[in-house]
Structure 1
Amino acid sequence: MRLSFPLRMTFNSSRSYNDAVAALNSLQSNYANIMAIRASGDRKNMMNIWEMQEWSRRIGYSTSDYNSLNIIHITGTKGKGSTAAFTQGILQQFQNDIKKIGLYTSPHLKSVRERIRINGDPISEEKFSKYFFEVWDKLDATTSSEEKFPHMVPGSKPGYFKYLTLLSFHVFMQEGCNTCIYEVGVGGEFDSTNIIEKPTACGVALLGIDHTFMLGDTIEEIAWNKGGIFKPGTPAFTIANQPEAGLRVLKERAQERHTTLTEVPHFEQLKDVKLGIAGEFQIANASLAVALAQQHLHQLNILQQPVNANVGAVIPDSFKKGLSLTRWDGRCQTVHDGEITWYIDGAHTKESIEAASGWFKAEVSSSTHKKILLFNQQTRNAEALINSLYDVLNTGVTFDRVIFSTNVTWKSGTYSADLVSLNTSKEQVDKLEVQKALKNVWKNLDAKANVDVVASIESACDLIKAYDEPVDVFVTGSLHLVGGLLVVFDGKNEE
């Protein structure tokens, strides 16, 4: 279904992409608000879903309209983005049948447009601006019931992630996408993507402990939230080797929602496929993607065979090709730059930092180059992550230098416009509080270590590029650090 806006809603070409990004950034929750939400302990908030339904109505859609997008819905703690990318890679091999594939993921690395892709490519700046202001103007021109939504006063807008979710639905509807893949933002049950009514398949990547202030402190609570995306009659799939307690809850949730949950093994045939995203652990995500794509194509009557979740299942060559061609920057990515080899993987949970560290260790096992660690994690338990990283790498990798940076992009103290983050304490960042604390942690682990604290990613790069010999650099922790690094690689400082 495509909707046309009245003439008075016509896009004003004088409003640029930069204007759209500035308006979007104004919707970010500030640090004080986020701390207040955390302190409140309000984890179960159906208002998130009701709001998204209402915002959709105000821009001209019923949530049932989104059923035409034929959505695959993916959640999990670690690997849901990679699973979404693999699923997209497979489905791109069937574009003669599908035509337009939408992908909605988060967070972005360099440009917010990365979150909304069609046929693998981020939408253009022109389309982003056009559709962004269509939604913006429509929300300005409509109102909500004061009785039902007293906080949604005229002129108010959804928060940053909700707005982008709303925008993605609008983009995919207007562009005529007939297959879409949605990565959950946080959790599932109360996530703003969970207004999807009839997905073609639901997937759960590896469960772990993260976002505890929103999802709960135990794997059972987290699994309950993740299982909230299950829908009646829509087959659900999860990777093999989930934590036992979490898997039990997922099975209970599937039963509650009147659907099936299938554990997807590591398919034997994928062991001989060079996956487009590096790392041995990616075979679990690739296997889950195979099952999701198979179910989706079966649902659309493109493939007749139902999902075969046996470890020895025959994987079609088209699926293997799609998996091998998949690209996903910032996840187990290797960049060669003269004498420097960058090993880059955003990892913000214990499970992901251990996986990333294991990947780096395997990659440099035979390298005699000097080793450098570049790390930041501004908003989670950075100390615990550093200890996990050290435990994995202590036997086999010795860092000649360790650098703790903020997520600030440039030495001038500014962020790239698409990477502005208001959800951290500016004072904490300015004083390098996290970075100084991490230096102390590392010194306690290795008293002889050469450790630097720097105020920007550009400054960290300057230290690394000063080496006149081959070096291997492990960049991990925050995806905001990874994204900022890739922006610095491009060298496009907007100032």
Structure 2
Amino acid sequence: MDFAVHADPRVQRQLDRLANLSLPQGRLSLDTIRALLERLDDPHLRLPPVFHVAGTNGKGSVCAFLRAMLEADGKRVHVTTSPHLVRYNERIRLSGELIADGTLAALLAEVLDVGEDLAPSFFEVTIAAAFTAFAREPADVCVVEVGLGGRFDATNVLPHPAACGVAALGIDHEQFLLAPEDGAPTDALSRIAFEKAGITKRGCPLVTLSYPEGPTLEIERAAMAAGAPLAMRGREWHTSADTLLYYADRHGELVLPRPAMPGAHQAENAALAVAMLRHQDFVSVSAAALAAGIRSANWPARLQRLSRSSLTGDREVWLDGGHNRSAGIALAQHFAGRRVHLVIGMLSSKDPAALIEPMQNSLLSITAVPVPHHDYHAHAAFGRTAASANDVADAIAKLPADGVPVLVAGSLYLAGEVLRLTGELPN
């Protein structure tokens, strides 16, 4: 469960109630979230056009690009993403602003009170609160990030999104998404695609990246079963890896700038956001706004270069919440040809090798640190040469003054703690 603390005592009282919730073992259905929303007058049925985004890696960045592009076009945009990094408010953004503390406290109290006997989960309460807030405050568009999987995710009550998107696929949350089930694929990545494609809705465009054969077949099956138009990269739309991002679809070709966000993979995420906007008919966005949003989009703790602070000193320090193999591959590409000191904190439920192995050629040293308030891997899990430190500040202080960059990675929870310490709060 997400650990949540807040400076405002009104919010903290509700977060303490949230912390006592858990997902009953074996419950895989949308029945509870539907019942909870019904008691709140079904806010999910009264939303403006919604862009619904699933994926293992990159879905948060896709949401950030969507928001930036839509806002560049003058649209009022509501957004819900997860998890939060520093403050729970980050999960609910109303017309461009994080939800105010007073509004949040009252909203959570309302949802928790009406659903107390339903035993909802932390995330079900969060999504019910977000959709209720979205329905009460006028906006032009909503952007909704899937929390985990897709098929049984609490966000999957949305009846008719403007477009559904699936970002990069990888192996994560295996205990939930790869549990044996009759009728589900047995190949791991195909099973992940099966779960993510579960957000497909009848008649709603399903916009995706390109994948290996097994996952591609699962996505095609989902689109066909739902009668959803499928727009897959490499078939209905295309990108180029050149200096500029090139995009061509049914509306013709666009030449767009590459993202300002670091990492070659962000061009892929930006392209998916563009494709989602271009393959739907509810919201119009100009080419100029697409370009402006690609330049301005920001998503904290995803290859974020930290500013100078008492924590970083004069060092070049990067922060990333990546914790699986797909993230390790993206980080390896970013630091290709360079050496880096890795400071890593990883939940005990994650696989250390998944992140470490792809980065092997770039790692000069590994220092393991705790993930505050969570069970985490000790330094021995990261190899014979890995060192340990009390926290990130201690780890950085112990490194030699060799001018080699530092990467802090392994957990979004650890990333949130770093942002709190440096004062670079998401806003």
Q: SS at 1:194's partner residue?
A: helix
Pick the aligned partner of 1:435 from 357, 363, 378: 378
Contact 2:321 2:410 survives alignment (8 Å):
yes
Question: What is the Cα deviation at residue 194 of structure 1?
Answer: 0.4
The residue correspondences of 1:245-284 to structure 2 (distance < 5 A) are: 245-264=214-233, 265-266=238-239, 269-270=244-245, 273-284=257-268
What is the CA–CA distance in structure 2 between the aligned matches of 1:295 and 1:128, rounded to whole Å? 34
Looking at structure 1, the residues matched to 424 and 66 of structure 2 have their Cα atoms a distance apart, in angstroms, of 32
Give the TM-score, by structure 1 length: 0.73
Deviation for aligned residue 1:46? 4.6
Query: How far apart are the structure 2 equivalents of 1:76 and 1:274?
Result: 21
Instruction: Measure, in 1, the Cα distance between the counterparts of 2:352 and 2:176.
Output: 18
- Secondary structure of the structure 2 residue equivalent to 1:203: strand
Residues 457 and 484 in structure 1, CA contact (< 8 A), matched pair in contact too = no
- Quote how far apart the aligned CAs of 1:454 are: 2.8
* DSSP-derived class of the 1:213 partner: helix
Q: 2:77 is matched with which residue?
A: 101
- Deviation of the 1:15 alpha carbon: 6.1
Deviations 1:443-477 (A, max 9, x none): 2xxxxx4x32134345435545xx66644111122
Aligned length, in residue pairs: 390
Letter in structure 2 aligned against 1:299:
F
Structure 1 residues 139 and 51 mapped into 2: Cα distance closer, same or farther (>3 Å)?
A: closer
Q: Out of 482, 487, 493, which is 2:415 matched to?
A: 482
Residue 454 of structure 1 pairs with residue 389 of structure 2: yes
- Structure 2 equivalent of residue 326 of structure 1: 297
Separation in 2 of the partners of 1:195 and 1:236? Answer: 16
Give the residue type in structure 1 aligned to 2:80. Answer: Y
Aligned equivalents of 1:251 and 1:20: distance in 2? 42
8 A Cα contact 1:270 1:320, kept in partner: no
Q: Is the contact between residue 53 and residue 164 of structure 2 (CA under 8 Å) also seen in structure 1? A: yes
* Cα deviation digits, residues 370-403 of structure 1 (max 9, x gap): x42111221211233222321xxx1xx351x421
Q: Name the aligned partner's letter for residue 71 of structure 2.
A: Q
Report whether the alignment pairs 1:21 with 2:4: no
**TM-score (ref. length: structure 2):** 0.84
> 1:274: Cα distance to partner?
3.9
What secondary structure, in the 3-state scheme, does the structure 1 residue paired with 2:407 have?
A: strand
Select 1:85's aligned residue among 53, 61, 64: 64
**SS across alignment from 1:102:** strand
User: What amino acid maps onto 2:40 in structure 1?
Assistant: I
1:56-96 residue CA offsets vs partner (Å, 9 max, x unmatched): 01222264x24x3311111111111111111111111122x
Amino acid at match of 1:19: R
Please tell me the residue identity of whatever aligns with 2:328.
I
* Structure with the largest fraction of helix: 1
Query: Any gaps of 5 or more consecutive residues in structure 1?
Result: 1-13, 141-153, 304-314, 366-370, 409-414, 416-420, 444-448
Bigger radius of gyration among the two: 1
Alignment equivalent of 2:162, drawn from 179, 182, 200: 200
* Alignment check: 8 A CA contact 2:264 2:333 kept: no
1:341-372 CA-to-partner distances (Å, cap 9, x unmatched) read 1112221221111111221336x47xxxxx42
Counterpart residue identity of residue 325, structure 1: S
Contact map agreement 1:74 1:182 (CA 8 A) in 2: yes
Is 2:302 the partner of 1:359? no
Does structure 1 residue 286 correspond to structure 2 residue 250?
A: no
Aligned equivalents of 2:413, 2:367: Cα separation in 1: 16
Contact 2:328–2:354 under 8 Å retained in 1: no
**Residue type of the partner of 2:282?**
Q
Query: Does the 8 Å contact 2:343/2:366 carry over to 1?
Result: yes
2:250 corresponds to: none
Partner of 2:182: none
1:178–1:318 distance in 2 versus 1, CA, 3 Å: closer
- The one-letter code sitting in structure 1 at the alignment partner of 2:302 is R
Query: Matched residue of 2:357: which SS?
Result: helix
Residue 325 of structure 2 corresponds to: 350
Any stretches of 5+ residues in structure 2 without a counterpart?
A: 1-7, 179-186, 247-255
Cα distance change on mapping 1:27 and 1:329 into 2, 3 Å: same
Give me the identity figure in percent: 26
